[in-house]
Amino acid sequence: MIVQEPVQAAIWHCLNHYDFSDAIFLSERLYAEVKTDDSLFLLATTYYRSGQIDHAYYILKDKSTMSSQCRYLLSSCAFEMQKYAEAEMALTDTLVIKSTNFEEIIEEYEDQASFALLLLAKISAKTGRRQQAIDAYKRALKINPFLWSCFESMCNMGEKPNASTYFQLSELENLNQCHGKNLSNIESVVLTCNQTNTPIQENQAYITTPQQIFSNTYAPVNNINPTKICTPEDSPLANPLCLSGFSMLPSSRIKLPRFKMIDSLNTTSPATTPSFGHIVDDFMSTPNIHSQPNFVEVTEQKSFTKKMRSHVGNLLVRKEAILQNSKPVFSQTGNVNNTIPMTPSTPATVSSGPNVRRSSRLFSNSYSVKENNKSPNRNKFATPKSPSRKTKQRLAKCSLNDFNSYMDLNTKNRLKKEKSETVTSAELKTNSAITNLSANSNSNATQLQKQSAEGLMCLLRDMGQAYLHMSQYNCKLAIEELNQLPPHQFQTTWVYSMLGLAYFEMTDYENAVKHFSEIRSREPYRIKHMDIYSTSLWHLQKEVTLSALAQDLLQLNKNSAVTWIVSGNCFSLHKEHDTAIKFLHRAVQVDPTLPYAYTLLGHEYITTEELDKAMSCYRNAIRLDPRHYNAWFGIGTIYSKQERYHLAEINYNKALSINPHSSVILCHIGVVQHSLKKIEKALSTLNSAIAKESKNPLCKFHRASIYFAIGGHTEALKELEELKDIVPKESLVYYLTGKVHKKLGNTDLALMHFSWATDLDPKGASGQIKEAFDPSIGRTAADTDSPASPPVEEYPSEGNSVHHDNTAFSALQEDSDDSL
Amino acid sequence: MSIKPEPDPVKNERSGKVREVGCHAIWSLSSCKPGFGVDQLRDERCDTYWQSDGQLPHLVNIQFQRKTTVSDIYIYTDYKLDESYTPSRISIRVGTHFNDLQEIEVIILSEPSDGVSGWVHIPIKDLSEKPIRMFMVQIAVTSNHQNGRDTHMRQIKIHSPSEENHNVAINNFNNFSTVDFQQFATIR
């Protein structure tokens, strides 16, 4: 019988059930009683998980020698508290780590190595060592391809990692780094040995009570489900069982598999087989479970599979038709298997000293799953995937049996985060000896696991590719990639957010808003990326929606920087810039590491003409994220306002280098070049802007004004005609046309256009443009307006033309009166 | 008798064409009663007021750090509540510093009729009807209603036009009338 240390087990139990206060209390007592490394680690973990990170830090800080898990935890705490030097010291024992030391880290931290490297990468990124951070991310990803955040961070830093190389499982010999040793609440498959009864009974001695193994939480659904599900209870006990040789559960104690089927049992839709989240055992052929009469479900399975086989034809055909290249990987994360490859010798020693071995393991491997499960919860992805990449070979490999059972069951497991998966019972045909069994099955088991996770890897490869495109601002490519994702994965918030972001960066605000509002309707509590949504609404000047959004978010979560950013945008749209500044300051207070808050604050300061404060805000944003091109653009704007056009051009070019596809930036560069009198360059820049984004009318407008300035009146008129078709209601278009006609001497056309312009915009958004009708006839070439800056004139408002008559001349002459 | 619409400074601020620039300035008073000073004058509330405590003329000095274009000044007074404390003659002086002020405007307030909100709009323009650029503006109360000695002023707002510099390239992007144009105007 396995005996485990009850106090530790109780504490982990509390932790796993989020009862932090009891966990803290008990671990304090335990630590007072037994001052070992493990109990210290347990104490620190309880503090960390309950949110008292500083407390955990201080108790771990001064201990001289610590196990690697304690050091990792200390490093984590120090990182959270922004003590980066200490974090690095704790992790690596040296103050400055070099890339060559990664191997030492991997050796030392074993299963935790990928997280240690991830933490190291984050520390390096925060302390300005970009190359080292990237190396560490790459290494971590190589060891543990489940760590999406490594890939994401690399993209954000401007690297261009290749998604297909990193999200691969084939390089790994085993998945230890990916899922650690202790597993709970994870579905697993018990690879049973096809043994006679005697070995079973013998091995009973080594097995913990299955009650501890089988979860009690699932309601029995379907007695015909053939599989045994092994869901280890959330305690380290699972481990010893698994180590015992992955099988031989006494039938009498095995509860029938219980599954909670999500939807009703009868719905089938062949298109929704999950590609991961399920373990499929490749070794299962037709069930030969007769040899294990002890297992109750055996007979049932037989009958079930017979039934299912009759449906095979239909389902198979349909499935193949629909998912041409579907991956038949119905996989389930296997807890069991991780232990198998660990030490092939352990089963051999099982018989010898079970108690000793297990107890030592109990005390040393007292991880709770949560800590190790930093990889995305694979069992959550109970959705099908039909990538166009995977070939049909896999399909063929799967036995019909698996297929059918999954067809039925998988349909219920869509998109829900339940852990109930059916597992086709694994029939491992091995030799009778346990050792042989283990030796063969080690590799088999790893294979099994790898196949199971391959579905996720494929998805990650696709998503990684899309994310990479996004980070390089190749928005069209990103959108294409994202659209190719399978429907169930496509309809998640992450994908919609990415799509919204892509459209936003392409200045296609209508589509961006469409996607974001879709997210809002599905998940109104989602806060991430709502700042981008608010900016899109700001651009489209949708005041009501933006105000509603701000209100909702304020009610939802006042502690999130995004909420305050949205509120700031809302007030900015209402032209209450002081209030907007106030709210954006709050956003900065709440999260000083969010560059976008600083950028928006900078924009607001520009509007209130506090250019020095704006500059410092932009510099802060760039300090936090050098690839935040909005901030570079903002600095360019400041210089442009100060008429320091060279500096403006430099900064605009920097922004352009980060986001080369932005027509807005190109447009601004064009205008600045025109101010610098680099006419040719300006025209070519505007041409390229128009080529990139034909929907941007501003580029044409400014090209027209440049033509006007250099005297190319006909070209200008042509552009303006086109613009009139594209945006018929823009008053400035008519105003410029009027000016061109006036220059050409077509006074009547000029007057016509001016009056149209006034009609469209009586108040004259472009300042008061005063153009009296009578004086314009007698106008000489004295008006020195350059099209780059509409002169200070006033539109004749309805009743005021007489009043303005007299002052028309003097006003028109004083163009450059008010320059700084 | 035509009824002019009430001056409403807030509405103009919201329109985006003008900005309230009092927050960028340094305010000082010739005299005040404790608890009734600059804060009460600038607190956006019309129920708190500044009460002077000295000899006429009572002065409000507003000094900017930069030469600022001022287009309007709004003063809130309430005759019903203040009666003899209500200013009746206000002189506006602008310049560079205390010794360089020039009077540009004199406003005579007759008894504002009941029900009036109390905002008095003083447009600031030079001979050519343009807003004036200045470092300092001084609002001087030269006499009160019913010959009162001290004065109450409840709120003062200073407006500056948003479009400062019309020759700057960036101003090409700010003024489009349609959303279709304006959305492409800048990166936010």
Closest CA to A125 of A164, A103, A153, A145: A153
Average pLDDT over residues A678-707: 91
Range name among A159-163, A210-214, A750-754, B2-6 with the lowest pLDDT average: A210-214
Distance (Å, rounded) from C-alpha A652 to C-alpha A654? 5
ipTM of the prediction = 0.81
Please name the residue of chain B whose CA is at the shortest distance from the CA of residue A698: B181
β-pairing verdict for B152-153 and B50-51: antiparallel
Place of tokens 């087990």: A9
Distance (Å, rounded) from C-alpha A22 to C-alpha A432? 47
At A44, the pLDDT band (50, 70, 90 cuts) reads very high
Of B24, B165, B178, the CB nearest to A820: B165
Torsions phi, psi for A442 (to 5 deg): -55, -60
Query: Looking at residue A214, what DSSP letter applies?
Result: S
Rg of chain A (C-alpha set): 34
Distance (Å, rounded) from C-alpha B68 to C-alpha A237? 76
Rounded to the nearest angstrom, the minimum Cα separation between A675 and chain B is: 7
Instruction: Check if the beta carbon of residue A812 is closer than 8 Å to that of residue A783.
Output: yes
Distance (Å, rounded) from C-alpha A551 to C-alpha A99? 48
Check residue A358 and give its pLDDT: 43
Find chain A residues with C-beta within 8 A of B22's C-beta.
none
Instruction: Check if the beta carbon of residue A99 is closer than 8 Å to that of residue A132.
Output: yes
Distance (Å, rounded) from C-alpha A27 to C-alpha A47? 10
Check residue B15 and give its pLDDT: 76
Convert the pLDDT of each residue in A633-670 to its tens digit.
999 999 999 999 999 999 999 999 999 999 999 999 99
pTM of the complete model: 0.71
Task: Return the number of other C-beta atoms located less than 10 Å from residue A98's C-beta.
Answer: 10
At A94, the pLDDT band (50, 70, 90 cuts) reads low
B50, pLDDT greater than 80: yes
Place of tokens 């905002």: B119
Find chain B residues with C-beta within 8 A of A820's C-beta.
164-165
Place of tokens 């095979």: A312
Range name among A123-127, A559-563, B126-130, B135-139 with the lowest pLDDT average: B126-130
Find chain B residues with C-beta within 8 A of A645's C-beta.
169
Neighbouring-strand partners of residue B155: B76
**3-state DSSP of A370-399:** HHHCCCCCHHHCCCECCCCCCCCHHHHHCC
- Chain A neighbours among B 82-111 (CB < 8 Å)? none
CATH architecture of B10-162: Sandwich (2.60)
Residue A122 contacts B where some CB pair is shorter than 8 Å:
no
Q: What is the three-class DSSP state of A555?
A: helix
Range ranked top by mean pLDDT from A63-72, A269-278, B41-50, B160-169: B41-50
**3-state DSSP of A217-242:** CCCCCCCCCCCCCECCCCCCCHHHHH
Please name the residue of chain A whose CA is at the shortest distance from the CA of residue B175: A766
Average pLDDT over residues B81-98: 91
CA dihedral A547, A553, A558, A561 (to 10 degrees): -90
A361, pLDDT greater than 50: no
Closest CA to A189 of A426, A377, A29: A426
Tokens of A249: 């559960």
**3-state DSSP of A513-534:** HHHHHHHHHHCCCCCCCHHHHH
Whether residues A818 and B128 touch (CB distance < 8 A) is answered with: no
Rg of chain B (C-alpha set): 18
Residue B24 contacts A where some CB pair is shorter than 8 Å:
yes
Residue B44 contacts A where some CB pair is shorter than 8 Å:
no
Residue A671 contacts B where some CB pair is shorter than 8 Å:
yes
At A769, the pLDDT band (50, 70, 90 cuts) reads low
Convert the pLDDT of each residue in A414-456 to its tens digit.
434 434 333 333 333 444 445 555 656 677 777 887 887 888 8
Neighbouring-strand partners of residue A695: none
DSSP A666-728: HHHHHHHHHHTT-HHHHHHHHHHHHHH-TT-HHHHHHHHHHHHHHT-HHHHHHHHHHHHHH-T
- Positive or negative: CA dihedral A259, A263, A269, A271: negative
Tokens of A629: 């091109």
Tokens of A682: 């300006």
Tokens of A96: 């400055």
Q: What is the three-class DSSP state of B38?
A: helix
Rounded to the nearest 10 degrees, the angle between the axes of helix A37-49 and helix A68-80 is 30
Ramachandran category for residue B103: left, alpha or beta (phi over 0 → left; psi -120 to 50 → alpha) = beta
Q: Report the share of chain A in percent with pLDDT over 90.
A: 40
Closest CA to A401 of A257, A272, A329, A301: A301
Whether residues B168 and A637 touch (CB distance < 8 A) is answered with: no
Higher pLDDT, A405 or A64: A64
Q: Mean pLDDT for chain B?
A: 86
At A93, the pLDDT band (50, 70, 90 cuts) reads confident
Rounded to the nearest angstrom, the minimum Cα separation between B83 and chain A is: 34
For residue A36, CA distances in Å to A57, A68, A263, A325 come to: 17, 14, 48, 54
- Positive or negative: CA dihedral A760, A761, A765, A768: positive
- A784 burial via Cβ count (<10 Å: 0-12, 13-18, 19+): exposed
The domain spans of chain B are 10-162
Check residue A170 and give its pLDDT: 79
Tokens of A727: 């945006």
Q: Tell me the residue length of chain B.
A: 188
At A289, the pLDDT band (50, 70, 90 cuts) reads very low
Q: Which helix (H) or strand (E) holds A87?
A: helix A84-92
Convert the pLDDT of each residue in A330-357 to its tens digit.
334 333 333 333 333 333 333 333 444 4
Q: Which helix (H) or strand (E) holds B119?
A: strand B119-123
